Chain A
Amino acid sequence: MAVTQDRLFGKSIKRTEDPRFITGRGNYVDDVKLAGMTYAAFVRSPHAHAWIKSIDVAAAKSQPGVVAVFTGKDMTGVNSLPCGWDLRKEKGVPGVVQDLAMVPHMPLASDFARHVGDPVAVVIAESQSAAVDAAEKVQVTWEPLPSVTATDKATAPGAPKVHDVPTGNVAFKWALGDGAATDAAFKAAAVTVKKRIVNQRLVANAMEPRACVARFEDATGELTLWVTSQNPHVHRLLMCAFVLGIPEHKVRVIAPDVGGGFGSKIFLYNEEVVCSWASRLIKRPIRWTATRREAYMTDAQGRDHVTDAEIALSKDGRILGLRVKTTANLGAYLSTFAPAVPTFLYGTLLNGVYAIGAIHVEVTGVFTNTTAVDAYRGAGRPEACYVLERIVDAGAAALKMDPLELRRKNFIPKFSGAFQTLVAVSYDSGDYAGALDKLMTVFDYKKFRTEQAAARTQGRLLGVGFSTYIEACSIAPSKLVGALGAGAGLYESGKVRVHPTGSVTVYTGSHAHGQGHETTFAQLVADELGIPMAQVEIVHGDTGLVPFGMGTYGSRSASVGGTAIKMSLDKIKEKGKKIAAHLLEASPNDMEYVNGQFQVKGVPGKAVPFGAVALTAYVPHNYP
């Protein structure tokens, strides 16, 4: 009997993952305990920039409980951590003015330390405390060197060079838009305003520090890495193909419960590579968990832009031109996706929601003696929004025009076809004035301004600010990101396995680290199949179970990961129709799937329930 199930998607329901978290039974990487476990502690640079003259590990090796001590010189045959976004002209990447300097990033530095916290040695011991004790006995002879840390000083004459490359501290130069048209717009403008806009660096600070457990099994040659990752498949690919040169089928990466990411757990890090490499040598599992101090020194950080922005306006407040020159601090090394953030995730959003006459953006990525910068919450897009909205406000102030009025005047008129921006991307639809009108139904702006004026006479300061925001989510599809320099395809996988009893396991390449996918995706699947949520299980975070995946960042899980699951469900429905049609002696073309059953179109009485079709597929005594 078909039972109509209320639509679950969009309903407020209790999360299915919560019971384990509220009872202390989550399974985070630092909770993983294995027989024969050893513990790693890293020796790190206390200097922003230093020559490593020598490292003496003899005293550390003789400490009680020490299993092994390694330095960068021991890691022969190990490659640099890769940067997965290749900003080079020869790759056909648009906008490249000066090719990205692909500087090496070795897992353990052996010549120079380039930022505070740069790891130079690892101690592996029987206990965490023994490892930390022995790490203090590693004698590094440092020769401190002059350093550069400030973004706007990186390319100043005489600035200390972070890497020995001909382009100095310029990592790349990139531009987008029409420079000549922008120059012309500024010439024709009644008013121009220039402003230096700083978007300061910040630390991502997930509550759970980064951690890894690496276990090499000598008998089978298999390596299992538990790691705090937003994208275990990306970790596997980068570590296997680029750094350690081991085949992917011998490596399993598990990202179990992960305590927040905010971007910082997308990237491949030194410690994961070192522990994986070392576990093959010592043939024992190794665990490393960052202290909060290490998180501050080594987790990829966010933002750090210094921008000179200029706006050109007509007397009546039309935005004629926008000129943006940004220096983006990449830190000491190129983190996994670092070059994409201040370029394609930034410049392409500078059109905002405005009809602007001409735009030109130039970005210079720079190296400094600081922790690497990479994608963090919104990655490039909030930076673009901040620049655009600040300079629009500055323009309004210069014209003595209401900032809201200036915005409204320049909104792209309502459109439903594609709107081609001046910075490569196009928008599919928009009604920005309509959105503002809606806001004005809940916020009485005129009244506020009156109250504000009254408050000022009493010596109280009341403020009001406006910002628009438009965002490019999902970082997909693969063809597009490939053309922009991505080293990877940015699809998602969603494998759906129907069990003989009609329950369903979904294997998604998306990864939840607080997002609640186990609930959200189960809602989606239950709705699509018309079966209860309790019959749906979501599996993620394990390359041994999920065949492929690209992971979770850039607001892509529902749009790309969810779509992959939906497409798999469509295939299952098509297959089910064939089976049900056979059982009912009907044509597959006459079948439909409604309320959890396959039925002859419009005839709910002539139907086979989902579970019965599943069982028939597994017990094919009567099969098409």
Chain B
Amino acid sequence: MKLPVKMTINGTSVNHEVEPRLLLVHYIRETVGLTGTHVGCDTSQCGACTIMMNGQAVKSCTLFAVQATGADIMTIEGLAKDGELHPIQQGFWEKHGLQCGFCTPGMILSALQLIQRYPKPSEEVIRHQLEGNLCRCTGYHNIVKAIEWAADKMAATK
């Protein structure tokens, strides 16, 4: 049995017939072909699959594609606008907030929601809000600095 799904991803409307059990992350990666969203675990722990769905940062491995019907989705590929990096992307680049890059897309989109909620986040707030995203390389230190940098920049340009 297949069910129709229809959603907007990074401003483009997509629709397919999919198995009801297909996870949203596999739909995005395999069916739509956007591979910036990663799968790091099968237990909803690592956050590498984090996307924005209707303005909320969600783990796309914890939703079925059919649950996202009608949703407005943004993946990491949709964050930079007209070739200009988003301040959070700039912050990760400036502050060496990544090494292998595998957790980075999810980390950046979690940071986006974090800054929306806490425009001037303290280090403590950042570390707490990133509990759902794991990084194995950096020890988080420079990720915190990257998000502080981005929050400052976003506040200054508001």
Contact = CB atoms under 8 A, between A and B. Distances in A.
B142 to A, nearest CB: 11
A205 B39 contact: no
A209 to B, nearest CB: 7
Q: Interface size bucket, A side?
A: 35 or more
Interface stretch (B52-60, B64-72, B115-123, B132-140): B132-140
A547 to B, nearest CB: 25
Interface in A203-233: 205-209
A501 interface: no
Interface stretch (A27-35, A156-164, A612-620): A27-35
Q: Interface size bucket, B side?
A: 35 or more
A26 B101 contact: yes
Q: Is the interface of A mostly helix, strand, loop or mixed?
A: loop
Contact of B99 (A27, A31, A514): A514
Given A15-B96, A23-B36, A23-B85, A260 B102 contact: yes
B102 A208 contact: yes
Contacts of B40: 207-209, 259, 292
B105 A24 contact: yes
Nearest to B75: A24
B42 A25 contact: no
Given A23-B80, A292-B43, A514-B101, 6 more contacts: A18-B101, A22-B104, A23-B77, A24-B75, A30-B38, A259-B100
Nearest to A33: B33
B99 A129 contact: no
B46 interface: yes
B37 interface: yes
24 contacts: A15-B93, A17-B101, A18-B93, A20-B101, A21-B101, A22-B104, A23-B36, A24-B36, A30-B29, A30-B38, A33-B33, A128-B26, A207-B38, A208-B38, A209-B39, A257-B100, A259-B40, A259-B101, A259-B102, A260-B137, A292-B40, A292-B46, A513-B100, A514-B100
A553 to B, nearest CB: 15
A262 B36 contact: no
Contact of B100 (A30, A31, A128, A207): A207
Contacts of A28: 35, 38, 102
Nearest to B92: A22
Interface string B108-134: 100000000000000000000000001
Interface of A: 14-15, 17-28, 30-31, 33, 128-129, 205-209, 257-260, 262, 289, 291-293, 513-516
B151 interface: no
A23 B79 contact: yes
A260 to B, nearest CB: 4
A15 B94 CA distance: 9
A435 to B, nearest CB: 23
B33 A18 contact: no
A259 B100 CA distance: 5
A339 B21 CA distance: 44
B5 interface: no
B34 interface: yes
Nearest to A31: B35
A27 B103 CA distance: 13
B48 interface: yes
Q: Which 5 A-B residue pairings sit nearest by Cβ, starting from the closest?
A: A24-B36, A259-B102, A21-B101, A514-B100, A24-B76
A33 B35 CA distance: 10
B77 A22 contact: no
Contacts of B93: 14-15, 18-19, 22
Contacts of B76: 22-24
A377 to B, nearest CB: 11
